[in-house]
Amino acid sequence: MTDASSSPQALTELSDDESLFQTTVADFARERVAPLVAAMDRDARYADGIVPGLFELGLMGIEIPTTFGGAGASLFTAVLAIEELAKVDPAVALCVDLQNTVVNKAFLYWGSDEQQARYLPPLSRSSLGSYALSEAGSGSDAFALATRATRQGDVYRLEGRKLWITNAAEAEVFIVFATVDPDQGYRGITAFIVDRATPGLQVGKREDKLGIRASSTCELILEDCEVPVANVLGAVGQGYKIAIELLNEGRIGIGAQLVGLAAGALAQAIHYAAERRQFGQPIGAFQGVQFQLAQMAIDVETARLLVYNAARLCDAKRPFRKRAAMAKYHASQVAERVASRALEIFGGIGFTKDLPMEKFYRDAKIGTIYEGTSNIQLQTIAKQLLAGDES
């Protein structure tokens, strides 16, 4: 892997293996995903074969070591996969993103030997995972948790409700955050591994969303949910650290999803501008359209550079928190802006469901909200700057 401190070209220059991998994912997206995008959006669920296909291609355990059945690759490799899938369907890209940058990383960084041996092989081969942090009263204030974990002998009993939990409808394992002692504030927050079959765990209603509709977003209900002490992830009271570090890395994956979305919208707009004729010539011959396409291309490239740089810094074990926030923030702004401008180039037909532009436009909005709102990203960046952190 090229070092993140080398020349600017290194940020987008891919090795032969990375280029081949990127092409393989792009082919899968075009051949297997694209024909089903409209139906998945309408039905608000993944079509049969999509998630198994992601596992078959090795996209769900990219950073899991080969000893556990994964690819043993890098975050940057995961970023390439997420971006390529998002060019066709950001909802499918989100499934790959959450699995690799949040769920798998939780086990890789904080799982015990026994937990890794038990959960990493199925996560790389066949089982989806989910991350349950948010609640009705804890969104941006992520650690105002009401979910309680009470120890009784060799088990903890979890009580509470989680909201907006991605992949919840399909997940086989959940990483659930609860507090063992509200009086300790964030120091009482603990992460628990909860299997889907655990009594007292119920997946609630599926949200009817504006965008990324194929990706499930559900309520998670915990009522006298008994979890073995052995299923504490990391250590008691370490949940705050686990959640923060996972979100920091997860923002790079969301940035890649949004870059892919913007790149997909731009590609559609370029093709349409070359084909659509008005006043005797393609609309792409008009300077006004050309300038819009050029500005969109600049936006996509700057967002991509920020995302790639953050990913390479992370892979190199160098500080990346500020760069991840910058990448996620900028990519979310670019995705909204490019999707909007691309839809305008299509004109009236872009506003219909006959073409993919209106879906790109709807899918883009969530980028400014999840994995930390835009204001949270700006706050993170500002705090790093004021602390004199140049990383």
Please give the positions annotated as active site.
Answer: 371
Q: What is the phi/psi pair of residue 260, to 5°? A: -60, -45
Whole-number Å distance between alpha carbons of 121 and 126:
8
Cβ distance 192 to 233 under 8 Å?
yes
Whole-number Å distance between alpha carbons of 225 and 197:
10
Apex 86 CA angle, 194 and 368, nearest 5: 75
Would you mind telling me the total number of residues written for the chain in this entry?
391
Cβ distance 83 to 256 under 8 Å?
yes
Whole-number Å distance between alpha carbons of 69 and 125:
7
Whole-number Å distance between alpha carbons of 22 and 256:
13
Question: 301 is written with which tokens?
Answer: 């490239």
Q: What is the phi/psi pair of residue 179, to 5°? A: -105, 135
Provide the strand spans (E) within 167-311: 173-179, 189-195, 201-206, 217-228, 232-233, 277-278, 281-282
